[in-house]
Each structure stands twice: as C-alpha cells, then as structure tokens.
Amino acid sequence: MTPPVSIVVGASSGIGESLARRLAAEGGKVALLARRGPEVERIAKEINQQCGATRALGVAHDVTDWSAVDGLWGRVESELGQVDALYYAAGILEPVEGDEFDTAKDKRHFDINTLGSVAWVNAAARRFGPRGAGTIVGISSVAQDRGRIGRPAYNASKAGMDTHLEAVRNRLWRKGVTVTTVRPGFVQTPMTEGVQGMFWVISADRAAELTIAAGRKRKAVTYIPWRWRPMMGVIRSIPSFVFRKLNF
Ligand SMILES: NC(=O)c1ccc[n+]([C@@H]2O[C@H](COP(=O)([O-])OP(=O)(O)OC[C@H]3O[C@@H](n4cnc5c(N)ncnc54)[C@H](OP(=O)(O)O)[C@@H]3O)[C@@H](O)[C@H]2O)c1
C-alpha cells in the first residue's frame, strides 16, 4: 500500500512538530514547513534516521508568502507523492499590554493565523475537491470562542480561521473531503512558555494524537481535550454585559 502523504505547516516546534513525528512513525510520509528552515530540516533528518527510510522532507516557508503555496505543494508531491492530508498548525500569540492597540502587531496575527490558513486550505481544497478525497485539519483554539481583553487579535484571527474552515467544510463535505477544526485548550509548547494560570494542560504529543484522531474520525469541530467543550459552552453563554467586567 502507498504510504499516506501529509503536509504539516508550522512543524518546527510544538504541536506541528509532534504531528509530523507521529504521522511518520505510523508509516506515512510528511513534509514539514516553517520559517526556521534549519529546524525543520533537522527534525526531518531525525525522522528519516529513526525510520530508516526517506519519510520526511523539511522545507523553509513563511506563510505570509502565500503566492509560494502552489509551488511548494508541487515540490512536495514531486518528492513524496500525491498529498492526502493537510495539517495547518502555524500560528503566533504575541504578548499584548493592557493599554496597547498596535495595528502592525495585530496584522501579524491575521497574516499568519488567518490568511496563511486560508491560502493553504484553499490550495488543498482545489486539489481534494475534484478528487473527492482528502483531509484538511486546521488548528484553531478555544480562544476563538470569545473576544477577550488579553489578546484581541489572537481571538479574532483564530475566529476568522475557524469560520473559513467551517465554510470550506460545508462546501467540500458532500464531495467526500474531510475538513476538521481542532480547538485546543492549553498545550505545553514554546508558545505557552511562561504563560501564567494555565490549567488542564496537555503535552504537544497528546494534542497531536487527538488532532490526528479527530481528522480520521471525520469530526467537524473538536475540542482537545474534550472537557473544553462544556467549559467553552458555559463561557460562550455568559452575556456580554457580564463578560466585559471579567478579567479574562
Ligand atoms: N499551545 C497552546 O496552548 C495552544 C492552544 C490553542 C491553540 N494553539 C495553536 O496551535 C498551533 C501550534 O502552536 P504551538 O502551541 O505548537 O506553538 P509553537 O511551538 O510556537 O508552534 C508554532 C508554529 O508555527 C510556525 N509559524 C509561526 N509563524 C509562521 C510563519 N510566518 N510561517 C510559517 N510558520 C510559522 C512556527 O515555526 P517558525 O517560527 O519556524 O516559523 C511553529 O512551527 C498554533 O496555531 C496555536 O495558535 C496552541
């Protein structure tokens, strides 16, 4: 049987790196993309040494360069074979001061968290739709569920990504293409290093395991771990006039 081929965008650390390692360990082939080229190349080399075969390819890519996506997709297919699954894990979460309203910083969140996802998801949709097969998994966040005082652009950029994924899912589901939105709670990764007050924290590897399982079960939206679903149900139901008085 031909090994399944996946692209993981944002694979130089955290959840994306764990996704790539897991997909290869299961026997699949995987392309790892991120800005830090030497890092994805190092991880790919390590995977290939562990597997004793060429299963991984590391490619430097900045998702803000969305015009490069089609060329990269072609390169991955020429080196690894036809792509079966896309995992979009790239994202940033920059600290924001209480009195800060910085448009350049906010734009970076939309460029990477939202538009980068749109570009890669569209590229996958153009190929998977006509084929009537394929899996697209986007890592959103529980943070997309409400606009909070701490990180306005992160919340909004993830909400944009999340809604785009829903729309693409509604367009492609009937053709047999899976589009899964994953909303993690707190995950121990470089992104959350030093973040205070985290709870229900899971490892990047556990997050990757739950993410892969959700795509394979053809879930539409999944909270990881599952206990975030009822929690976010409560948070979403808090009326705005109460929510604006809360400190989170
Ligand atoms: N950790 C959490 O608690 C948590 C919770 C909910 C959702 N998430 C989401 O999970 C995803 C993975 O985050 P993580 O926690 O694993 O953090 P991470 O270790 O910081 O990983 C983020 C990944 O995104 C890549 N990336 C950032 N900007 C990029 C760009 N311009 N072009 C290409 N790649 C870019 C980074 O690689 P380079 O820097 O090398 O480009 C890195 O590989 C993110 O979308 C994040 O929002 C995380």
Lowest mean pLDDT among 51-55, 124-128, 199-203: 51-55
Q: pLDDT tens-digit profile of 49-65? A: 999 889 999 999 999 99
Considering the chain, what is the average pLDDT of its residues? 97
pLDDT at position 237 is 97
| Dist. CA 194 → ligand 1 center (Å) | 15
The response to whether residue 160 sits with its C-beta less than 6 Å from ligand 1 reads no
The response to whether residue 92 sits with its C-beta less than 6 Å from ligand 1 reads yes
| Dist. CA 204 → ligand 1 center (Å) | 11
| pTM given for the model | 0.98
pLDDT at position 126 is 98
Q: pLDDT tens-digit profile of 68-118? A: 999 999 999 999 999 999 999 999 999 999 999 999 999 999 999 999 999
Q: What average pLDDT does this structure show over 165-191?
A: 98
Task: Concatenate the DSSP letters of all residues of 107-165 into one string.
Answer: HHHIIIIIIHHHHHHHHHHHHHHHHT--EEEEE--GGGGS--SS-HHHHHHHHHHHHHH
The response to whether residue 34 sits with its C-beta less than 6 Å from ligand 1 reads yes
pLDDT at position 248 is 73
Full set of structural domains in the chain with CATH: 5-243 (3.40.50.720)
